[in-house]
Amino acid sequence: MSYDLDRIKTMLPEYLERSGIGITKRAASHVECHCPLHQDGTPSFAADLVAGVWLWKCWPCGVGGTVIDLHADKNGISRSCHDAIKGTAEVLGIPDNGKSLPPMTTDQRRARAAMNAAQNAERLEQENAERITDALKGRRVDILAPFLSSSWRADFWDDSPTILDGPVEDDARLFIRGLFNPEDVLWLGDQFDSGEASHAENFRTACKWLRLGNLPPRIAPGIFKSGVISRSDSNLIRSPFIVIESDDLIGHKPTDDNEREENKRLCAALICLCRDRLKLTLRAVIDTGGKSLHGWFDRPSDDALKALLSISQGLAIDKGVVTRASNPLRLPGCVHKTTGRKARLHFLNSNTF
Ligand SMILES: [Zn+2]
């Protein structure tokens, strides 16, 4: 015999009702009624839903417990005997799983085996990821060391296939022209410009954006369906890029200019590692004007992306930014509120020629 005890313990109000005990006060997680255990002139029986379990208490009786305890006390049987559970379940009409359920069919058994296998695989993967993360954390400095450069700005600038010697005001246009096709529908706007009818104007084709005088401060890396108003994942039709960044490569969030600069130097090394060691195709590097760099890369194969995600935590890569093509990221020229500095484009490898 086996009963779903967790379920039974969520059903105290139903038990009271099924036992003909009128509930005198009822809220989502609190009920009161006349105590079924003593001659109760005023309702002194109260129960609260605590962490998914209904627990009752009667002050005059000086006792309390779960619905099973109530059934036991009410029927004068031991709280710990099986009849207490069985009796409660019968009042509630809950079947005895061990007895009343029909045997599993072959398909059900296969489905359960597949589910168990998937859960095991997931657990192994999780354990593996934790091991990798721990190993990488301890060696992060060593891993990044070969890619560190004090002249990372000049290095990116020298390496950039597109010559970036214009004013910062031109950067956003170069960036959009270099990475997107003219007919791609892009979201540009302020961080929260999404979800209302008026936000339809935040979704325009790249060529329409390029005709505007002043561009908004942020862009989402994905390509959207036309006619949408919300920057949600379900409105994306393509996610051609992934974006690598880290806010705390120095071990914590930078708080002053020196720390911000050091975090960016480490971000530059991280981006070079992804390009040179992991062989990802680097499209753009943006200095956000704050504490980090954004490395825009071509979205790699699913396997390569999975491998990257498995090391992301160990390398302090912001996992949410990597794959979410609907994130509002800083466009070059965007002014950073903390530092007052403008985001700058340091590298551009156009894919639209
Ligand atoms: Zn009582």
Backbone angles phi, psi at 122, to 5 degrees: -65, -40
Tell how far the Cα of 87 is from the centroid of ligand 1, in angstroms: 20
State the pLDDT confidence band at 219, using cuts at 50, 70 and 90.
very high
* Sequence-ordered list of residues with C-beta below 8 angstroms from that of 165, at least 6 positions apart, any chain: none
Half-sphere exposure of 2 (CA within 13 A, CB side): 5
Q: Is residue 204 part of a domain?
A: no
Q: Is residue 281 part of a domain?
A: yes
Tell how far the Cα of 31 is from the centroid of ligand 1, in angstroms: 14
Domain count within the chain: 2
Query: E-assigned strands of 255-333?
Result: 282-287, 293-298, 329-330
Q: Is residue 125 part of a domain?
A: no
239-276: pLDDT as tens digits: 999 999 998 888 889 999 999 999 999 999 999 999 99
> Hunting for tokens 């005890």 — which residue is that?
5
| Averaged pLDDT, 285-313 | 90
Same structural domain, 53 and 140: no
Q: Is the pLDDT confidence value at 119 over 80?
A: no
| Averaged pLDDT, 214-243 | 94
Q: Please, what is the average pLDDT of the chain?
A: 90
Backbone angles phi, psi at 241, to 5 degrees: -125, 155
For residue 198, how many other CB atoms are within 10 A of its CB? 9
Tell how far the Cα of 111 is from the centroid of ligand 1, in angstroms: 48
Go through 134-165 and write b for each residue having 16 or more CB atoms within 10 A of its CB, e for each that does not.
eebeeebeebbeebeeeebbebbbeebeeebe
The percent of residues in the chain predicted with pLDDT above 90, rounded, is 62
Residue 305, pLDDT score: 87
Same structural domain, 31 and 152: no
CATH code (residue 284): 3.30.70
Q: Is the pLDDT confidence value at 322 over 80?
A: no
Tell how far the Cα of 61 is from the centroid of ligand 1, in angstroms: 4
Same structural domain, 306 and 256: yes
Tell how far the Cα of 92 is from the centroid of ligand 1, in angstroms: 21
Tell how far the Cα of 37 is from the centroid of ligand 1, in angstroms: 5
Same structural domain, 256 and 328: yes
Same structural domain, 87 and 153: no
Tell how far the Cα of 109 is from the centroid of ligand 1, in angstroms: 47
Tell how far the Cα of 45 is from the centroid of ligand 1, in angstroms: 6
Residue 224, pLDDT score: 97
Tell how far the Cα of 57 is from the centroid of ligand 1, in angstroms: 8
Q: Is residue 197 part of a domain?
A: no
Tell how far the Cα of 59 is from the centroid of ligand 1, in angstroms: 7
Q: Which of 78, 100, 122 is the last residue of a domain?
A: 100
Residues, beta carbon < 5 Å, ion ligand 1: 35, 37-38, 58, 60-61
> In 226-284, which ranges are continuous DSSP H helix?
257-276
Tell how far the Cα of 89 is from the centroid of ligand 1, in angstroms: 22
Q: Is residue 185 part of a domain?
A: no
Q: Is the pLDDT confidence value at 236 over 90?
A: yes
Tell how far the Cα of 66 is from the centroid of ligand 1, in angstroms: 14
Q: What share of the chain is helix, strand, coil (3-state, %, to 5)?
A: 40, 20, 40
Lowest mean pLDDT among 34-38, 82-86, 285-289, 311-315: 311-315
State the pLDDT confidence band at 124, using cuts at 50, 70 and 90.
confident
Lowest mean pLDDT among 175-184, 201-210, 312-321: 312-321
Same structural domain, 260 and 166: yes
Tell how far the Cα of 58 is from the centroid of ligand 1, in angstroms: 5
Tell how far the Cα of 64 is from the centroid of ligand 1, in angstroms: 9
CATH code (residue 13): 3.90.580.10
Residue 103, pLDDT score: 67
Whether residue 44 contacts residue 35, with contact meaning beta carbons closer than 8 Å, is answered with yes
* CA-based torsion, 109, 115, 118, 120: positive or negative: negative
Q: Is the pLDDT confidence value at 323 over 80?
A: no
Q: How far is CA 287 from CA 91, 228, 328, in A?
A: 66, 30, 15
Lowest mean pLDDT among 59-63, 230-234, 267-271, 316-320: 316-320
Lowest mean pLDDT among 28-37, 133-142, 163-172, 296-305: 133-142
Residue 213, pLDDT score: 83
51-106: pLDDT as tens digits: 889 999 998 899 999 999 999 999 999 999 999 999 999 999 988 876 555 667 78
Same structural domain, 39 and 82: yes
Q: Is the pLDDT confidence value at 315 over 90?
A: no
For residue 268, how many other CB atoms are within 10 A of its CB? 26
Q: Which of 47, 79, 100 is the last residue of a domain?
A: 100
14-45: pLDDT as tens digits: 999 999 999 999 988 999 999 999 988 889 99
Same structural domain, 11 and 145: no
What domain range is 308 assigned to?
A: 130-180+240-348
Instruction: Tell me the whole-structure pTM to 2 decimals.
Output: 0.65
Whether residue 256 contacts residue 300, with contact meaning beta carbons closer than 8 Å, is answered with no
| Averaged pLDDT, 4-17 | 93
> In 9-150, which ranges are continuous DSSP H helix?
12-18, 67-75, 82-92, 97-100, 106-144
